[in-house]
Amino acid sequence: MMIVLEGPDGGGKSTLAKTIVHELGLTYVPSEGPARGEGEIDRRIERYFMMKGDLLFDRHPCVSQLAYRVVHDQPAPEGFLIDQFYRLKPILIYCRPISSGNHQASGEWDTPEYLAAVDKNFGALMEWYDQWAVRRARYIYRIGDSIPQLIHCLKGENYARLHG
C-alpha cells in the first residue's frame, strides 16, 4: 500500500501522517523539500520507487514538485516518472488548508524568502492543488474532519488490496 498526503503548507499533512502511520503500521517517508540540483528530483523519485513495504509519503515529488513551481522555479520531474507514479495507483489524500498562513518551517528549505514566496503565491498554489485533487485525489481531508473515519476507509482499502 502506498499513501501520499499532498496539499499546500498548513493542511495538516504531518499531523494526519502520524495517526495513519500509527494506525496502519506504515513506514513514514517525510518530505525532502525542493530539488537540490540538476537531476536530483528524478534520482529521488527513482529511489522512492525502489522502496519496499507499505509506505506513507508526506508529499511526493511527482505531485508537489509540479505544484510548487507556482512558488519558485524548480525543475519538473521527467514525464515517464510521473506516469510510472500514477500507474502504481497510490492512495492520494489531498490535505486542503482552511486558510493561508498556517505554514510551519519543517526543513532547511523553509527560509524567510521561501515562506514569503509561499504566502505571496498561496492563492495560485491552492488553485493548482484544487484542480489536481478533482482529477487525482481519492480523499480530501481538512483540519477538523474525522480522522477515525478516514482511517476506517483506509483500513477497508488495505483489506480489499490484500484479499481482493
Cell of 123: 492563492
**Treating both helix axes as pointing N-terminal to C-terminal, what angle do 13-24 and 147-163 enclose, rounded to 10 degrees?**
50
The top-level CATH class assigned to 2-163 is alpha beta
In sign, the C-alpha dihedral spanning 102, 67, 50, 46 is negative
Where do we find the cell 526543513? Answer: 107
Q: Is pLDDT of 105 > 60?
A: no
Q: Is pLDDT of 102 > 60?
A: no
β-strands 139-142, 2-6 pairing: unpaired
Query: Phi and psi at residue 150, in whole multiples of 5°?
Result: -65, -45
Give CA–CA dist 73/70, Å, rounded: 8
Percent of the chain with pLDDT over 90: 71
Give CA–CA dist 75/135, Å, rounded: 23
Q: Is pLDDT of 63 > 70?
A: yes
